[in-house]
Structures are given as structure tokens and as C-alpha cells.
Chains A and B, each alone.
Chain A
Amino acid sequence: MKIKGKVHKFGNDINTDEIIPARYLNTSDPAELAKHCMEDADAKFPQKVKKGDIIVGGENFGCGSSREHAPISIKASGVSCVIAKSFARIFYRNAINIGLPIFTSREAADKLKSGDSAEVNLTKGEVTKAGNKKAFKAEVFPSFIKDIINKGGLMKYAENKK
């Protein structure tokens, strides 16, 4: 599957309080959470973001709390995937568990800039900047994680266990 979108770039150590501030955690409604996505990192993000857009982060993206509201708000705001140099571990497993595509790629995270157009190949784990021929490669997922992703998240994977 291929997705095209605009890049929104953020720095290192973007934490879950910036992704979805605690003042909005009295709900778990995805559409409601999307209205405040990334608000404390970039107040205009909820207005700017368009379906298919890509979030690019630096090191340790999604650090801080365990709130699944963070990847849920990102997914619900239409973002197609998050690319970062590294992910905080709870954010990483939450994204996989709810089926929000994430990619670890230093090269892509370095080279992509806000406003760039890029194309993401979800199946191959490749990101191509518009105008470039060569794609940035993302780290491959271990087969255990691939299984969960291919089933569409942990609960879908669990349904086979019933």
C-alpha cells in the first residue's frame, strides 16, 4: 500500500503530553482527541494536518506516559504514518497494537523537512521524498511484530485465540 502526504517535522523527545495534553484525557473518543493532536508541540497542527500526512520526529518520539490516546489522536487526525530516529518503547508498542504504522529511519528523519511531499510504501517500509529516485529504508520489524501488524493490531490478532 502506498500513501502520499506532506511532512510535519518535530524535534527530539516529543512526549505524550505534547501529543495529547492531559487536559483532554477525560475522553477516549478518537475524533475528539484528534482535535487536540500535537497541540502543545504545535498549536496549529490540528488545523494544518490533512489526510495522509506524515509526522517526522527525532529521537525518543512519544516518550512519557503510557496513554494510548497519543497514537489514537495521531491516527484519528488522518496521519498515515510516523517516522522517527527512535521511538519511546510504550509509544512503539501502542502504535503497533492499534495499527498506526511507524517507521524507524535515521536517514528519512534527517533528510525530510516540514512541507516536503513524500510517498510511503507501507508494505516495503520505504519512504521516498518527492523528486527523489532513491527511497529511504526503514528498519524491518521482527516477524513477531509483523504478525500483529498484518492482522491489523493486537486485538485482531487475539481474535484467533478465542
Chain B
Amino acid sequence: MGYTITEKILLAHAVGTKDIAPGDFISAKVDLCLGNDITSPIAIKEFRDLGKKKVFNQNRIVLVPDHFLPAKDMASANQAAILKEFAEEFGIVNYFELGQMGVEHALVPERGLVIPGDLMIGADSHTCTHGALGAFATGVGSTDLAYAMAFGECWFKVPETIKLVFTGKPRKWVGGKDLILHAISDLGVSGALYKALEITGDAIDNLPMDDRFSMCNMAIEAGAKNGIIAPDAITEKYVKTAIRNYKPQRKAYKKYISDKDANYAEVREYNVSKLEPVVAAPHLPSNGKPVSAFKDVKIDQVVIGSCTNGRISDLKQAAAVLKNRKIHPNTRLIVIPATQAIYMEAVQEGYAETFVKAGGNFCTPSCGPCLGGHMGILAEGEVGLATTNRNFVGRMGHPKSFVYLSNPAVAAASAVAGKILQPSDL
């Protein structure tokens, strides 16, 4: 019996075993581990309590204070300071200060810090994003991060794999976000619990890297352990550019592909040729329906950004919709590029000007309102539409506020209309 791409990467990193099967518990070597300003302080404390003098590898730990920075209050400033101190003391190469910093799951691939074939863990649930590069990447907790920083290993249960096959040519204004929201509405929020989601099909072969990141990013919203897309020419071009631009100490990478006779727990097919943009209603990401099903849903705030849709092609789409238009007087628009490089490109390409002219806000990279941190918290009873990945109760502010999820083009069109609307209906 052959192996899936997930099984191959886990096997290549497993310690003391020559064969693995779903359900096995293994310890495996990690190539990269990641923490942020919420999860790292706990990990750092536990690491210090262990009394180790060195981390396992100073080049393979990434610390990104992206959640509450620019520091929203004193307590957040103190948490971020813990990362900075630790990075200095232990010589962590990839610590990113405000000004370099961006949303971790956009920043790490952009800098070439994760490459195909890697085994990556992150103390952040959306670490599954990086599977878009053909790496095994999964979210863990702070204690796991502490352990990995000390020993360069982590424990895993080898997951079964669900294969998702996307076929057909998506229509205009339909992207990776819609494909994955559509699949999650089919799978449910626990439909892929403990499992790997392997994303394949001719619709994926032609899908740009940014859209692939959006898709793997939301694997966790179906409960999955990881999302993964086999590396191809599109992946290769992205990785080579990243390595050329930032010269991380990463060169050779391994391309793993699933065997023909690999075993899948389940295969689901979606023809996406007729798919409309999808909007997920409160309070679960699995509440996706075609955008046209939402009539007269008034929106107080639109957020475009996050590790799901804060990349340059996302801003480009939003700008294309907003060009020479004004946002609705009762709606506020907050655009947050995911990294400094994306911010710069949005300025150079004129997208930033478009947003501001339309009456929107163009902000510094941060997770911001995505998790209800800062830079756009919803009041009681308010309704938000966001390009983020979660619309749980209270996720963006008041426990009695409401969040809808969509792609950036629908978000921009809705900001203009003041209610949920698709760009083609503007």
C-alpha cells in the first residue's frame, strides 16, 4: 500500500520508525517552529523552567508578535517584550519586530522560511496554511512549542487523509476562499477532525499560490490537522522567489507526492464551474451559502485582511471593485495588508490610494480585529463582513455582534452597497 503526501513527510521526519500508518503515535523532527505574542509567552516560560541553555536550532524558530501589535495596551506590550527578550538572549534569528512584522502565516512563506517537504509546527491553529507549499504544517499548543524549541521534536498521531478533488474552471470573482468555504459547508466544522485534508484536482492545478494559502488556511475550520497541496511549478516559482529575495538559510527542498495506491479515509469531489462566491453566516465557518442567498443583510463594518485573505492578490481584487467608487455612508471599511512587503506593493500599485479615496482605512499589518484584538472591534448588535476565517460568537468583539465571512471582492462590493452583495451586482 502506498503513502499519502502527509504520511510521506511524517515518515521522513519520524524518529526510530521505518513505517507508519494512520493512528500511530510518533515523535518526529521538526524543521520549523513558530510562535506569536499570545502563545509564545507561555512556551518561553516553560522552556525557561526546563533550564536548557540553548534552543535546538537558532535558525528554525520563528517568533512573530502579530496579534496585539502595535501594542494595544500595557499588558500586550509586556507580552511582546517577552518574545523580544527571549530572542535576544537565545539568538533567535527569525524574530520580527514591528516594521518587519506581519501576520505570521503570510510572513513565514513570503520569507522562504518554510519550504516544500518541511515538517512545521506552530503554536497557532492556522499553521495549517503552510501546507499549501507541500509541507506538513499543523497547529499545536504552547507546551508543544516549548518542547520543540528545546528538543527539535514533537509528538503526533498519524492522521488519516480525506482527499478533496476540485474540478472545473471557477467563475470570475470566485477564488480559493469560496472553494474552501464551499467544502467546509459540506464537511462541517468537525467533518475532518484529526484528519489530513489533501486538496487536489484540475481547479487546484491552475490556482495561484495566494488562493492555495487561503484554502489550506481554513483546513482547521473543518477540524483538520493539516491541509496540504502537492507542490508543482506554481509552488516552485513562489519558493524560488522567496529564497532569492530573503536568502533564508534554506536551499534544497523535497517534493513529496501521494502514491497512486495511497489510502484515503474518504474522497469528496466538487465541480466548481458554476459555484457562486460563498458567504458564511454567523456563527460558524460551515454556514456557507451562495452570496445571492443573502438579501438585505446590512453591514456596519467590512474587514479585508488576515492570514486568510490579506495577500497582494486579495488587495488587488478589492481595489478593482472599489476603483472610482465610494463606500456606503453607514459602513466602515478596514483594509489590513498581511505583511510589510504586501503593504509596500499595495502602495506602489495604487491600491492603497483606491481604498483611501473610497473612504476606507488602510492600516499597518497586524491580526487586528480578526480575533477581536484591536483596530476594529464590533459593538453590541453590530454586523461585520470579514475576509477572515472564523465567525464564532464574540470573535470580532461583543458577544452579541455578528460576523459573516467572504472573499475580498464580495467584501469590497458589500462595503460599497452597505449590505452583502456580489461584485457583479454593483
A interface residues with partner B (beta carbon < 8 Å): 13, 15, 17-18, 21-23, 25-28, 40-41, 43, 59-60, 63-69, 72, 86, 88-90, 93-94, 97-98, 142, 144-145, 148, 153-155, 158-159, 161-162
Contact between chains at A89 and B155 (CB < 8 Å): no
**Across-interface contacts of B376 in A (CB, < 8 A):** none
| Contact assessment for A144 and B52 in the assembled complex, using a CB-CB cutoff below 8 Å | no
Tell me the bound Cα distance from A10 to B72 in angstroms: 32
Known: A60-B189, A63-B223, A159-B50. Is A90-B76 also a contact (CB below 8 A)? Answer: no
Residues 367-378 of chain B: 1 if any A CB is under 8 Å from the residue's CB, otherwise 0? 000011100000
B388 interface residue, CB < 8 Å from A? no
B143 nearest CB across to chain A (Å): 4
Contact with A along B3-40 (1 / 0, CB 8 A): 00000000000000000000001000000000000110
Interface mask (B135-160 → A, CB under 8 Å = 1, otherwise 0): 00001111110110011000100000
A26-B68, A97-B144, A153-B143 are known contacts; what are 15 more A-B pairs with Cβ within 8 Å? A18-B394, A22-B372, A25-B67, A64-B390, A65-B124, A66-B127, A68-B143, A69-B38, A72-B42, A89-B223, A97-B141, A155-B147, A158-B50, A162-B50, A162-B51
CA distance A43 to B393 in the complex (A): 13
Q: Number of residue pairs across A and B with beta carbons under 8 Å?
A: 131
Task: Point out the residues of chain A lying under 8 angstroms from B419, CB to CB.
Answer: none
How many angstroms between the C-alpha atoms of A15 and B150 in the bound complex? 29
Answer whether residue B123 sits at the interface, using C-beta atoms and an 8 A cutoff: yes
Contact B52 A26 (CB under 8 A): no
Q: How far is the CB of B392 from chain A (nearest CB, A)?
A: 5
Q: Which residue of A lies closest to B393 (CB)?
A: A40
Q: Is the interface of B mostly helix, strand, loop or mixed?
A: loop
Does B395 make an interface contact (CB < 8 A)?
A: yes
Residues of B within 8 A of A142 (CB): 25
Interface size class of B (residues with CB under 8 A): 35 or more
User: What are 5 of the A-B contact pairs (CB < 8 Å)?
Assistant: A26-B68, A40-B399, A94-B144, A142-B25, A154-B143
Q: What is the CA–CA distance of A98 and B39 in the complex, to the nearest angstrom?
A: 14
Q: Please, which residues of chain B bring their CB within 8 A of the CB of A93? A: 140-141, 144, 155
CA distance A86 to B395 in the complex (A): 23
A18 touches B68 (CB 8 A): no
Q: Could you mark each residue 142-184 of chain B with 1 if its beta carbon is under 8 Å from any beta carbon of chain A, else 0?
A: 1110110011000100000000000000000000000000000
